[in-house]
Amino acid sequence: MNKLSLITLACCSVLSACSLLPTYERPAAPIATQWPGQTAPKLNEKVSTSRNADVLWKDFFSDTTLQQLITTALANNRDLRVATLNITQARAQLGVRRADQLPSVNAALSGARTPSNGTINSAYSAGFSVTAYEFDFFGRVASLKEQALAQVLASTEARQTAQIALIATVAQGWLNLLADEELLAVSRQALASREESLKLIELKLQHGAASELDQRLAQTLLESARVTLAQQQRQRALDENALVLLLGQSLSETSQQQLRLQSLQQVKFPEPAAALPSDLLERRPDIRQAEQLLIASNANIGAARAAFFPRISLTSSIGSASNQLAGLFKDGSWGWTLSPQLLLPIFDGGRNQANLEAAQTARDIAVAQYEKAIQSAFREVADALAGRDTLAQQLQANQSLQHAETERARLTQLRLDNGVASQLEWLDAQRSLFAASQALVQVRLAMLQNQIVLYKALGSGVPPSE
């Protein structure tokens, strides 16, 4: 190997090592090692809990109607479509950055005719050219490519987050409609019962067996049921509109029929197992998205640092030139040009330093956002676990309360029929029974909703390849 080759190899080795991209280190997770109120799991429990949490949405939402609704939403939802298009846009930008690492070769054909001293001078040229190709000795272009790659990965994780949120929201919307139907049934039943009671009291009033106050109390109870029924009808319409927006189309007749047949008591979800807090870093796509944005900010620092160093570019061409169009490709008209250029920043008014400080600040912001994403995810899981521990007890208490109020209303009705209880006692019993029946439906809904929230908070539902 000659001396020139050795020098060239040494220069290439030195320049190739001049990457100014900072080494990325994942920040420490600012969360506890276990969930609040939970005992620390054993080492051999980590694999099993993580595996149990990886239940796909089709296995978690086993109801056929709900699966059809989710499938429809995944196909039609516009927010998810935008998230998918963002990935396509980011990939295109990555393609641009990758192309910057290669020279652009163009075919050019030009001609000019200019008058001079009464004559017309002609000049024609044709050939291939490379314009301002940058030799990336200090990694500026490579850093921008790494930044674009991280943006692609962040967009992919954003779509995963949007998909998981869409699946959970559709399921919650369906449960809201089921609860609305049950609440409407309770209100209609109460309304029918109170209409019959008012008719009976009015009949008694005609025969002197009841007072006008008894009539007004029964009428108050009836009108309050009508108010509640109107409110619930409005809420039911709003909940359906919200679900239709998620689906991108109206509810099918099959779904409408299923609403009238199904109840919340028939809905069952498998209990998701809570993974370790550290597992959220790998399971939650929103956390992975925040980390990719952090990596992108880190890559921008490399590009900002490279701006302080010389930028070497090359412009060259090869082709044919002639003062006559017919002689453009004849022998002797061929030639080439080579124009390297080195630009070394000397004074820029502090622009490069400001860009570097902005990139470093953006990286610090990305670190804070990454840590906030972890903390928010930790709280969501902790809240869902707290709900799981208490809502089951509340449901049992509400069931006992509803049973007790049912018996109280029955006994009060018997006492009223036999002249032992007053109309006011009967009114209070009816109100309490109506409130207990509504509360039972609402707490049953809250318990099912909490299971969905926990499933979503654990980052479950969508395999990484989707």
pLDDT digits (tens, 9 = 90+) for 96-126: 989 888 888 888 888 787 887 778 878 878 8
Q: Do both 110 and 129 map to the same domain?
A: yes
Q: Do both 122 and 159 map to the same domain?
A: no
Q: How confident is the model at residue 2 (pLDDT cuts 50, 70, 90)?
A: very low
Q: How confident is the model at residue 19 (pLDDT cuts 50, 70, 90)?
A: low
Q: Report the pLDDT value the prediction gives residue 121, as an integer from 0 to 100.
A: 79
Q: Do both 315 and 420 map to the same domain?
A: no
Pairing of strands 311-322, 105-116: unpaired
**CATH number for 377:** 1.20.1600.10
Spatial distance between the Cα atoms of 34 and 42, rounded to a whole number of angstroms: 11
Spatial distance between the Cα atoms of 422 and 413, rounded to a whole number of angstroms: 10
CA atoms within 13 A on the CB side of 92: 6
> Would you say residue 2 lies in a domain?
no
Domain final position from 343, 363, 387? 343
Q: Do both 81 and 116 map to the same domain?
A: no
> Would you say residue 39 lies in a domain?
yes
Domain final position from 343, 361, 396? 343
Spatial distance between the Cα atoms of 405 and 430, rounded to a whole number of angstroms: 8
Number of CB atoms found within 10 A of residue 81's CB: 14
Q: Do both 109 and 205 map to the same domain?
A: no
**42 pLDDT higher than 50:** no
Q: Do both 256 and 320 map to the same domain?
A: no
Cβ contacts of 234 within 8 Å, gap of 6 or more: none
Spatial distance between the Cα atoms of 466 and 194, rounded to a whole number of angstroms: 54
Stronger pLDDT, 157 or 426, i.e. the higher one = 157
Maximum separation of any 2 CA atoms in the chain, in Å: 128
pLDDT in tens, 229-241: 999 999 999 999 9
Q: Do both 416 and 385 map to the same domain?
A: yes
**266 pLDDT higher than 60:** yes
Q: Do both 227 and 339 map to the same domain?
A: no
> Would you say residue 6 lies in a domain?
no
Q: Do both 206 and 318 map to the same domain?
A: no
Q: How far is CA 95 from the centre of its chain?
A: 25
Spatial distance between the Cα atoms of 101 and 424, rounded to a whole number of angstroms: 86
**361 pLDDT higher than 60:** yes
Percent of the chain with pLDDT over 70: 89
**Which residue range is the domain that position 339 belongs to?**
105-135+310-343
> Would you say residue 15 lies in a domain?
no
> Would you say residue 326 lies in a domain?
yes
Least confident of 117-126, 298-307, 363-372, 420-429: 117-126
N-terminal to C-terminal alpha carbon distance within the chain: 53
Number of domains in the chain: 2
Domain final position from 326, 343, 360? 343
Q: How confident is the model at residue 274 (pLDDT cuts 50, 70, 90)?
A: low
Cβ contacts of 386 within 8 Å, gap of 6 or more: 36, 37
